[in-house]
Amino acid sequence: MLQNTGKLAGYTIFITGASRGIGKAIALKAARDGANVVIAAKTADPHPKLPGTIYTAAAEIEAAGGKALPCIVDVRDEKQINEAVEQAVEKFGGIDILVNNASAINLTGTLETPMKKVDLMLGINLRGTYLTSKLCIPHLLKSKNPHILNLSPPLNLNPIWFKNHTAYTMAKYGMSMCVLGMAEEFRGSIAVNALWPKTGIQTAAMDMLGGSGIDKQCRKVEIVADAAYAIFKQPTSFTGQFVIDEDILKKEGIKDFDVYAVEPGHPLLPDFFLDQQPEDLARQMEEHGATPAFKSRKTSADSATTGPVSDMFNIIRGLLSSDIVKTTQGVYRFDLSGDHAGVWYIDLKNDAGSAGSGEPPVKADVVMTLDSSDFIKMFGGRLKPTMAFMSGKLKIKGDMGLAIKLEKMMAMMKSKL
């Protein structure tokens, strides 16, 4: 691993999303030099599924040798960012480095992505990065070696990285476009760069996307932290670069990358937006024991987007409403066999609901397995779910109460056909 040199001692680093994962790892790396770290993140109270808060991160930073300032910050909120910046300047005397790490991800296609999710990703990834940079730049300009580092990918315009999750790619590339523009705008004054991992990194987000078994195909967050540290050591003339973690560490003389592996010697999963295609990533995940929660959507020529099941889901999407979501509170997955085999979902738990082909955006509460012809009959009002279940045509795994609630939607469907 890359050794600390003490170069960041006394520097003030403002990091968004620093309560866990990559953001916290960068904070701890800087803290070992004696840096001041502003933890700008939303999690003040323990999250039921995600580790860490701004306060637990602050305790770790101070234990590592740094000084910490935990600030409750939603990067979509200009007032909260401004207050955090003012607190940082008042407490530490300025800001030397900004790390735009906060990010939201939702790997679904255009029809399956609710606008609330689109707004969330654009608001955090693009607008949040732009806004935080804008508010920090006046203070960065006073620093002797200021840096802005965005955790975002190279601008790979190959359509394969758009077709399955256009909204996410637009939002993430927005962070990269901030690098492109601001690096030129502040050339000679502030170094503005992007950093992206060559492989999958073990984080809560990766666990969500890859499921069980994904961790052994990943590297630890420390490799990204070491790469960020290597960038911070560069002069402001090092700017406008889209850095890959492994590449810069090789230039720093690192030869043994097994120390960064969760399971040394195990094949590693390439990260998104590089050269390997998404289909290959999903296949590699499965070959080594993981279950990817993302897979490329089928083309319009495939049965997933044409045929009677697709037609049925077009009607279902037209019936979705916040009222149905409020009264149902369930996520359903349908594993269909037969002439129109495939995986479909109905989310009646989040936002105003969503429905479409592929895995549900969150873990399903109910999984229904049946022939595609019986699915069409059920939602067309010609086969009651209870009869399908009793006759063995329908297998249900999960909350039976939620399975019964779905009959309400089926009754509405019947009136539309």
User: So which residues are the catalytic ones?
Assistant: 168
Q: Which residues contact 394 (CB under 8 A, 6 or more apart)?
A: 368, 369, 370, 374, 378, 385, 388
> How wide is the angle at C-alpha 89 spanned by C-alphas 85 and 91, nearest 5°?
115
Q: Which two tokens stand for residue 412?
A: 């509405």
Q: Rounded CA gap, 41 and 23, in Å?
A: 10
Q: Helix axis angle, 21-31 relative to 54-63, nearest 10°? A: 30
Q: Which two tokens stand for residue 59?
A: 């305790």
Q: Rounded CA gap, 113 and 169, in Å?
A: 13
Question: Would you tell me how many other CB atoms lie within 10 Å of the CB of residue 406?
Answer: 19
How many CA atoms are closer than 13 Å to the CA of 279, on its beta-carbon side?
Answer: 5
- At residue 343, the 3 state secondary structure works out as strand
Q: Which two tokens stand for residue 10?
A: 């006394």
Q: What is the CA radius of gyration of the chain?
A: 24
Q: Which two tokens stand for residue 83?
A: 């207050």
CA nearest 168: which of 114, 208, 118, 205?
Answer: 118
Cβ atoms of 105 and 205 within 8 Å: the answer is: yes
* DSSP letter (8 states) at residue 339: G
